[in-house]
Structure 1
Amino acid sequence: MKKIFLIALLSLFVISCGDDIETNTPSIQGEVEDIFFRSGSSVATLNEDGSVTLTGSSSDEVVTLTASAYEEGIYSFGGSVTNEATFEDFNGVLYLTGENGDGEIEITKIEGGRLSGEFYFNALENGVGDTINFSKGSFFDVPLTNPGTPSTPGSDLDCEEAQNIRLAAKLAYDNVDPNNAEQLQLVCNAYRNALNQEIDTCGDESGDLQAILDTLGSCES
């Protein structure tokens, strides 16, 4: 009986480990009003003011998280738009923390140009309307699309990593709602940064990457 119990316990342990490994891919996830959300693509972008924005997109929903600095630490939402969280649902309704929402994002790890951490927030429709709750949020190994920016830790990438970042940025760009100008410009700039990074790291003998950059233009609507 004891042997059977130990075998069953060992089997459960192995299954649990397998589940952890399966979910430990670059992603942003959590619960929106107790409904599970997991991004199909996730990227991070270092902004000109030194803040960093993480974007996670599923087939029809998008969450963005902005922290005022590209450093490990806790950043509170609400009262200021320096740190901000937004969520766009499948109907295209935008919820944002702005001055009236609350919550926080904690960047627990930055390594190799990838960010991991946790978050939660309450955001209001267009910043003033109905409230939506995003709880149990986490992000894992979200790649920075412009890691070559001066003074950013973990900026050394090899060609394969640069290619993977570009593919993740492309997926986010392909899935963004074209009617949401703010999100479109955000993911477009992330895609441009990733393309430029791959060109700098890997080269572009065929000119294919530069052709995509030319098609994207300045990303301004």
Structure 2
Amino acid sequence: MLFFDKIFDLYEIYLYVCPVSTFYGLTVINNCKSPKRMIRITTLLAVFCIILTSCSTDIEINDPALQAKIDGQLFRSTFKKAVIHDDGTLVISGSEGNQSISFTTSSTKTGTYKLAQQTLSRISFEKDQTKFTSQDDTTEGEVVITEIHNNEISGNFYFKNLNDTKGNTTSMESGWFYRVPIENAVAEEPTVEINPCLLNASLTALIDGSEMITDNHTAELFGVSSVSILIKATNEDGEITIVLPATTSPGEYSLTGSGDYSATYTAGTDKSSALSGRLIITDHDIDTKCIGGSFEFETRSGIQVTEGLFDFGY
């Protein structure tokens, strides 16, 4: 306060030395009895303005921004987003290096969201692969959404007593987010599990005495009341298909061009079904959907398919 008192004292001296009628005019300097004092006051006021300006630069505003003090240390994210999910919840998250923050509100409306009211959930902070999360019985906190404008969201938050798996805690204070972009969640494609037996599938045979090693394999179930397995194996020269019931047990079966057990061989545009042949199933695990065995057949066009071996998944 001494600094400001000094300024006001000098300002009073300036008013006393210079007539009030000319204080705001262009002839102030000419009418002042002590120009040196006026120069001192002007310099002091300039210094005061510089101090105020330099203080204001200590406050950094990012656009957009998400930051908080975590255990007294400032966390300021470089990556931030707000994602609306199909159930109406909003997930706000940000990350910087090996640190990340995430929390979920029950809607996107402006207002206050609290853990105690179950309108706030899934709070987490991760640092150096250690994850702190909210616990219903110990964590306190709230998120206040203050504005949503031009598909951007702003507000503030604090969280106390986030816990890791070892019982350690961390807290966030003075948290705020400003003009964080809002986006809709992208629907994830359902994960299709590929049978390991299909990933490692193989089928080989002799076609009129020439070796055929296939490199592309597919297998699928089809049918409703009577489900069958369609096995298909190809390479650049040809294709072999085998059809058999999904309930087939290990054993030997006759192959024909149609019916429950059938096979075909295709070379280019020439597709020919089996005239006669046999299929031997050595292994079939219905639970893991893995099947293996051997086969041979003659096509209606006279092609001999012999020494066939297969190991497949479906």
Q: Same fold (TM over 0.5)?
A: yes
2:73 is aligned with 1:7: no
Question: What percent identity do the matched residue pairs reach?
Answer: 26
What are the superposed Cα offsets for residues 63-116 of structure 1, whole Å, 9 maximum, x if unpaired? 0121111011111125747434210112x1111123131111111111111111
Deviates more, 1:121-130 or 1:105-114: 121-130
Q: Is the 8 A contact 2:111 2:145 kept in 1?
A: yes
3-state DSSP class of the match of 2:183? coil
Following superposition, the deviation at residue 11 of structure 1 comes to 2.3
Q: Which has the higher relative contact order, 1 or 2, with Cα contacts under 8 A spaced 6 or more apart?
A: 1
Task: Tell me the TM-score normalized by structure 2.
Answer: 0.43
Following superposition, the deviation at residue 16 of structure 1 comes to 4.7
Q: Is the 8 A contact 2:155 2:176 kept in 1?
A: yes
Match of 1:30 in 2: 68
Deviates more, 1:123-132 or 1:65-74: 123-132
Q: Is the 8 A contact 1:97 1:127 kept in 2?
A: no
Following superposition, the deviation at residue 145 of structure 1 comes to 1.9
Match of 2:100 in 1: 62
Following superposition, the deviation at residue 135 of structure 1 comes to 0.8
Equivalent residues in 2 for 1:143-182 (5 A)?
143-146=181-184
Structure 2 CA distance for aligned equivalents of residues 219 and 141 of structure 1:
32
Structure 2 CA distance for aligned equivalents of residues 49 and 127 of structure 1:
29
3-state DSSP class of the match of 1:23? coil
- The count of aligned residue pairs is 152
Q: Is the 8 A contact 1:50 1:68 kept in 2?
A: yes
Q: Sort the Cα spacing of 1:77 and 1:24 in 2 relative to 1 into closer, same or farther, 3 A.
A: same
Following superposition, the deviation at residue 4 of structure 1 comes to 2.3
Instruction: Give 2:93's aligned amino acid.
Output: T
Q: For the aligned residues, what is the CA RMSD?
A: 2.7
Q: Sort the Cα spacing of 1:24 and 1:124 in 2 relative to 1 into closer, same or farther, 3 A.
A: closer
Higher helix share: 1
Following superposition, the deviation at residue 14 of structure 1 comes to 3.5
Q: Sort the Cα spacing of 1:220 and 1:73 in 2 relative to 1 into closer, same or farther, 3 A.
A: farther
2:256 is aligned with 1:218: no
Task: Tell me the TM-score normalized by structure 1.
Answer: 0.60
Unaligned 5+ segments in structure 1 are 147-189, 194-216
Higher strand share: 2
Match of 1:142 in 2: 180
Higher Cα radius of gyration: 2
Instruction: Give 2:113's aligned amino acid.
Output: Y
Match of 1:43 in 2: 81
Equivalent residues in 2 for 1:44-123 (5 A)?
44-78=82-116, 80=118, 82-90=120-128, 92-100=129-137, 101-123=139-161
Unaligned 5+ segments in structure 2 are 1-39, 193-314
Q: Is the 8 A contact 2:141 2:159 kept in 1?
A: yes
Q: Is the 8 A contact 1:109 1:117 kept in 2?
A: yes
Which aligned segments of 4 or more residues in structure 1 are displaced greater than 2 angstroms?
8-20, 77-84, 123-130, 217-221
Structure 2 CA distance for aligned equivalents of residues 51 and 145 of structure 1:
12
Q: Is the 8 A contact 2:120 2:143 kept in 1?
A: no
